[in-house]
Amino acid sequence: MEALSSAPAPLPPRLLLFDGVCGLCNRFVTWAIDRDPHAALVFAPLQGETAAALRALHPEIPDHLDTLVFIEDGKVHMFSASALNACRHLQGPWPYAAALLWVPRPVRDVVYKLIARNRYKIWGREESCRVPSDADLARFLP
């Protein structure tokens, strides 16, 4: 009898963790999916099992939900760097947004954090985490 492996499944090369109940975050995920026909990005809610397991490997991933977290080849990007690095993998003009990474991080993150602090007021809060469509289901981790 063969023993079952308890090793975790390998992570995708590009994973975007998002606040599953944030209206803005859900809109960003939908927007990114529409611009990612080659499925370069995979998604998981910060409230889910995947994010919880990743916090053990990457303690810099916060428990609070005020940032997107983009993990690319094991490197963790947060705040403005998360969205800008994720955009590098989208189709159309969106990879050019990564040029904003040349703006000093403190300047970028002030703007990002201002938006994050007010996101529920402006874009609302969902009752539960985003449920992907059948077509997008393979791109979401728990």
Write out pLDDT tens, residues 103-129.
999 999 888 788 777 776 766 666 655
Confidence at residue 70, expressed as pLDDT on a 0 to 100 scale: 95
Residue 5 to residue 34: CA distance in whole angstroms: 36
In degrees to the nearest 10, what's the CA dihedral of 114, 92, 76, 105?
A: -40
First to last CA, the chain: 30
Confidence at residue 102, expressed as pLDDT on a 0 to 100 scale: 93
Residue 36 to residue 15: CA distance in whole angstroms: 13
| pTM of the entire predicted model | 0.82
Domains of the chain, residue spans: 14-139
Confidence at residue 5, expressed as pLDDT on a 0 to 100 scale: 44
Neighbours of 104 (CB within 10 A): 9
Q: Residue 63 pLDDT > 60, yes or no?
A: yes
